[in-house]
A and B are shown apart, each in its own frame.
Chain A
Amino acid sequence: MLRRIVFVTAAATLLAAPSFSASHRNGPLLLEDQTANLNDFYMFRSYEAGRGDSLVLSMSAQGFQNPDNGPSYYKFSDSVLYRFNINNSRGLDGNPDITVDFRFATTLRPNNTFLSYLGVIDSIDSAGILLYQTYTVTITHLRTGATQVFTTDANGHALSVAPPNQGPKGTPNYETNLGARSVFTLPNGMRVFAGPRDDAFYFDSAATFDFLNFRPPAPVLAGSADLPPGAAFPAAQDGFAGYNISLIALELPISMAIDGASPAGPTKIGGWASTYRQYITVRPSPQDPQNSGPWKQVDRVANPLTVEALIPLPMKDFWNRSLPANDKQFAGFIGDPFFASGILHGVFGLNVPPAPRNDLLGVFVPDITRIDLTIPPTPPASQNRLGPLGGDLAGWPFGGRRIGDDVVDIGFRALAGVLVPGFNVFPNNALGDGVNSNDVPYLTRFPFHAPPHAGFSHSQQDGTNGRGKPTGF
């Protein structure tokens, strides 16, 4: 009897609240989307040897992937349409002229385990890739309506997603066997890649959590602290070091990007990435809902940090589903950014240009990444992390955006007005977070993002996450 009383009392204390709470249908509401949310968009003239006449576009999704934590969790979503948009006419009005769509399909190869990857995987065709993803690339020229669809490369191989980098035993010689082999040449000459990569973004995020306690000499980088590419191991900590992202990358001849209009064609083009999910009706419809609905845009990204920096929360859904062509409606937020007027001027006492900030409106309205195709690509060894602000024109914001452009420091300085005559002065032109380079070296060939960190080597123990050590072995 005593046993029963103890049991009942113990259970009853737990029972009190839940008896009531679980009886309504509490469907999840999302504070963040994951699969359809894009982190970064890149667009630049290729600096790979012999490829200077090509344009590279890439988008990253699902940031902060822990390399040793359930790689299968980070697959591309089969229900999302991932799209590159290219705007090459009408004065770059923010309407697309060419779209390149990526759609993924997942096959679970029969097996008796819960694993996604089994045994040694030393080829992109290894049978141990139990969670096998392939994709379809669809290119649409909106002015003519012409469409091309590719499901295989020029050799007839399925366009497959690179598997995760588990470590030297599970995925030996990762980049040689798997990463580089997942770059496919399409029958039309384009090259594509989809799979995990190192997150190329670098920024001292930890310092901002500690009362914006930038590590000296940040936030004003003087002398050697500002030299490209910066000290090898600066005091500042790259909060993105050691983490992977999911990358979709595309390389196409510039002549294709300008619809074959070269050499008389446009010298400037714009681009952005967007994601879509299918529309459905809530009320029953006679059509099969699986394939009935048109695609609805759910996210877009062009310039770095636009939505985080400039668009308030109640407007975010609206921003994310709108077209860059209609970005004038957001000009009020962008032309007078609080960061510039309230913080840099109001608090720091920096002399910043007055609103409206036409320099910012020129970059962010419409929010597309712009590239001047007359600017030749800078060879990797000569690139400056500050891009045009550092005398290297082939970077953000005028020469597109490259993988290694230090968009945080460029952003700080641009907000402080250095692109406006008279404002390119100290300390406006020396602001920065102190992290001047990525944790691992980038590739100098397509897809340029560094190979993914291996689950096996991933370690936070010494705080370096293997910083400075090339990945992919």
Chain B
Amino acid sequence: MSIRGLLFFSISAFAQISGNDLANRAIEQRAVTQQAAGLPTDDRIRMYQRLAQARPDQPHYQNLLAGAFLQKVRETTDFSYLDRASRILEAVLAKNGEDYEALRLRTEVELERHQFAQAAGSARRLIAVAPNDSWNFGTLGDALIELGEYDQAADAYQRMVDIKPDLSSYNRAAWFRFLYGDTRGAIDIMKQAIAAGSPMPENIAWCQVELGHLYLKFGRLDEAERAYSSALQLFKNYHSALAGLGHVAKLRGKTGPAIEYYKSAQMGTPLPEYAAALHDLYLGTGNKEEAQKQMELIDVTDRLGQAAKERLNRNLAMIYADHDYKLSRALELARAELETRKDIYTWDALAWTLFKNGKPEEGRTAIEKALALHTPEPMFYMHALKIAGALGHTQEAEEYRRQALAFNPSFQENSF
């Protein structure tokens, strides 16, 4: 065999020799990652599928494919992509339980599935192996925030920034600043996250939507609108940006455009929140039939959830409570959520459903937990002052109103 033939044969064999993909990196990593940067996610998926098919024994390509599917989950909120990612990762881990890339991605799958305690455990195990990889501190902090372990979450996020200031660590720091009442810091750091950028336009658009949400909470409608519009420009038909613009239009009393925005958002990603917003908007125009259709959609969501043995759903609980509808079910959902998720938003959901179920005293205890960090979340204050009002604590209600007006000068308890 000629040397060239021998080499060719050997090179083909090399694809099968070991799980160590260091060798590949030398010549392929750069080309692959650069080629992928700037590709739309669907094209990335196709490219990685080809690579994974051509090199079935290289788990690296399987992992890249799983990562692209996880990105697709972000973009579409379609859980079938999560299942595909999960199947790929489990197959890689069945062959090699130590595959670091796969374990790292699996933690993200756990978070998407709301297995927060499990995700925290997985992240901690990976930190023990790779204490210098910022990713694991991100997943740890994300899990801890949902578990209500804010102080530990801050440590994890700080470590993430220490290792690498970038879009992923900045956006988490911005959120933490918001949770702790630093409105200016939250906005400044979220802008830094946007400036830091990502090869995935959706990632940047996601931060722009978050920035829009922050502005909205502080009553800065024009800036919120600009942030949502930028997101939409960067990532076409982004459902959360469309819904954001719908929210701005609704607050401005422009019902027609608000309905159009929410309908566009719903067409892409039919979240129950969008149905609830549309229900209210249609009702406002006197279109009871369309409003009713939207409420039926929400009901179907709940029935499907129950059929899937889903016991908890904070979002649904809030929608029911807001509409004085299925109130006992709302309380049941919120209570179930609190069993595993002790963050301030779940405390708020519990407070609000308790209040709506005629238990303002218990609601007051819960809302105080929601406000423990002094988070400038207008919804918390709206709930707090209504609970205080129902209990006849007029002064307390006024104090909540004063605090809300301090961070949002246009705060109105009946306009959300």
**Co-complex (A, B):** yes
Residues of A within 8 A of B (CB): 4, 7-8, 11-12, 14-36, 39, 62-66, 69, 73, 77-80, 114, 203, 205, 208-214, 216-217, 219-220, 239-240, 277-285, 288-290, 293, 296, 298, 305, 308-310, 312-318, 320-321, 337-339, 342-343, 346-349, 408, 411, 415, 427, 433
Interface centre among A28, A63, A217, A338 (most CB of B within 10 A): A28
A-B contact pairs, 13 of them (CB 8 A): A8-B296, A19-B304, A21-B79, A30-B166, A30-B203, A69-B38, A209-B32, A277-B196, A279-B162, A283-B154, A290-B191, A305-B30, A308-B26
**Beta-carbon contact of A26 and B142 below 8 Å:** yes
| Known contacts A30-B168, A296-B165; is-contact A23 B313 (Cβ 8 Å) | yes
**Beta-carbon contact of A338 and B20 below 8 Å:** yes
Residues on the B chain within 8 Å of A216, using CB: 4
A29 is contacted by which of B38, B157, B168, B308 (Cβ under 8 Å)? B168
Could you tell me the distance between the alpha carbons of A305 and B30 in the complex, rounded to whole angstroms? 8
| Known contacts A27-B171, A277-B166; is-contact A79 B34 (Cβ 8 Å) | no
A106 to chain B, nearest CB (A): 9
Top 10 closest pairs, chain A to chain B, by CB = A17-B79, A205-B31, A314-B130, A318-B132, A284-B182, A79-B195, A309-B26, A28-B203, A277-B165, A63-B34
Residues on the B chain within 8 Å of A203, using CB: 27, 31
**Beta-carbon contact of A205 and B28 below 8 Å:** yes
Interface centre among B162, B185, B269, B301 (most CB of A within 10 A): B185
Could you tell me the distance between the alpha carbons of A19 and B23 in the complex, rounded to whole angstroms? 43
A284 is contacted by which of B146, B168, B185 (Cβ under 8 Å)? B185
Could you tell me the distance between the alpha carbons of A79 and B315 in the complex, rounded to whole angstroms? 36
| Known contacts A28-B167, A209-B51, A219-B11; is-contact A280 B26 (Cβ 8 Å) | no
Could you tell me the distance between the alpha carbons of A212 and B142 in the complex, rounded to whole angstroms? 40
Give 19 A-B pairs besides A15-B271, A209-B50, A349-B10 with Cβ atoms closer than 8 angstroms.
Answer: A18-B79, A23-B315, A27-B142, A29-B108, A33-B198, A203-B27, A203-B31, A277-B166, A289-B192, A296-B165, A305-B27, A308-B30, A309-B22, A310-B22, A314-B132, A342-B17, A342-B22, A346-B17, A427-B3
A20 is contacted by which of B23, B30, B73, B114 (Cβ under 8 Å)? B114
**Beta-carbon contact of B170 and A280 below 8 Å:** yes
Residues on the B chain within 8 Å of A35, using CB: 196-197
Could you tell me the distance between the alpha carbons of A339 and B28 in the complex, rounded to whole angstroms? 12
| Known contacts A29-B108, A338-B20; is-contact A205 B35 (Cβ 8 Å) | yes
CB nearest neighbor in B for A222 = B4
Interface centre among A212, A317, A433 (most CB of B within 10 A): A212
**Beta-carbon contact of B195 and A78 below 8 Å:** yes
A327 to chain B, nearest CB (A): 15
B149 to chain A, nearest CB (A): 14
Q: Mark B261-274, 1 if CB is under 8 A from A, else 0.
A: 00000100111100
Could you tell me the distance between the alpha carbons of A240 and B301 in the complex, rounded to whole angstroms? 49
Q: Mark B148-185, 1 if CB is under 8 A from A, else 0.
A: 00000010011001111111101111011100111011
Residues on the A chain within 8 Å of B38, using CB: 64-66, 69, 73
Residues on the A chain within 8 Å of B35, using CB: 64, 205, 239
Could you tell me the distance between the alpha carbons of A283 and B157 in the complex, rounded to whole angstroms? 9
B304 is contacted by which of A16, A31, A66 (Cβ under 8 Å)? A16
A77 to chain B, nearest CB (A): 6
**Beta-carbon contact of B7 and A279 below 8 Å:** no
B414 to chain A, nearest CB (A): 24
The reply to whether the CB of B94 lies closer than 8 angstroms to some CB of chain A is no
Stretch of B133-141, B363-371, B393-401 lying at the A interface: B133-141
| Known contacts A15-B304, A28-B171; is-contact A317 B164 (Cβ 8 Å) | yes
Residues on the B chain within 8 Å of A315, using CB: 130, 132
**Beta-carbon contact of A282 and B173 below 8 Å:** yes
Interface centre among A8, A64, A285 (most CB of B within 10 A): A64
B140 to chain A, nearest CB (A): 12
Could you tell me the distance between the alpha carbons of A31 and B212 in the complex, rounded to whole angstroms? 25
Residues on the A chain within 8 Å of B33, using CB: 32
**Beta-carbon contact of A220 and B165 below 8 Å:** no
A321 is contacted by which of B8, B164, B173 (Cβ under 8 Å)? B164
**Beta-carbon contact of B161 and A209 below 8 Å:** no
Residues of B within 8 A of A (CB): 3-4, 6-8, 10-15, 17-18, 20, 22-23, 25-38, 50-51, 54-55, 64, 67, 73-74, 77-80, 82, 100-101, 108, 111-112, 114, 129-130, 132-135, 138-139, 142, 145-146, 154, 157-158, 161-168, 170-173, 175-177, 180-182, 184-185, 188-189, 191-192, 195-200, 202-203, 206-207, 233, 266, 269-272, 293, 296-297, 300-301, 304-305, 308, 310, 313-316
Chain B interface, >50% SS class: helix
**Beta-carbon contact of B145 and A278 below 8 Å:** no
Residues on the A chain within 8 Å of B3, using CB: 220, 427
Interface centre among A27, A64, A277, A284 (most CB of B within 10 A): A27
Residues on the A chain within 8 Å of B175, using CB: 25, 27
Could you tell me the distance between the alpha carbons of A22 and B50 in the complex, rounded to whole angstroms? 30
**Beta-carbon contact of A342 and B23 below 8 Å:** yes
| Known contacts A338-B23, A347-B17; is-contact A282 B161 (Cβ 8 Å) | yes
**Beta-carbon contact of B74 and A28 below 8 Å:** yes
A422 to chain B, nearest CB (A): 19
Interface centre among A22, A217, A289, A343 (most CB of B within 10 A): A289
Residues on the B chain within 8 Å of A415, using CB: 26
Residues on the B chain within 8 Å of A279, using CB: 161-162, 165
CB nearest neighbor in B for A33 = B166
A2 to chain B, nearest CB (A): 13
**Beta-carbon contact of B14 and A282 below 8 Å:** no
Could you tell me the distance between the alpha carbons of A39 and B130 in the complex, rounded to whole angstroms? 25
A333 to chain B, nearest CB (A): 8
Residues on the B chain within 8 Å of A282, using CB: 154, 157-158, 161, 172-173, 176-177
**Beta-carbon contact of B26 and A32 below 8 Å:** no
**Beta-carbon contact of A283 and B176 below 8 Å:** yes
| Known contacts A28-B206, A309-B25; is-contact A15 B297 (Cβ 8 Å) | yes
Could you tell me the distance between the alpha carbons of A212 and B27 in the complex, rounded to whole angstroms? 10
| Known contacts A25-B145, A79-B192, A347-B10; is-contact A11 B297 (Cβ 8 Å) | yes
Residues on the B chain within 8 Å of A26, using CB: 74, 111-112, 142
Residues on the B chain within 8 Å of A317, using CB: 132-134, 163-164
| Known contacts A239-B31, A347-B14; is-contact A77 B192 (Cβ 8 Å) | no
B37 is contacted by which of A27, A29, A34 (Cβ under 8 Å)? A34
Residues on the A chain within 8 Å of B177, using CB: 282, 284, 289
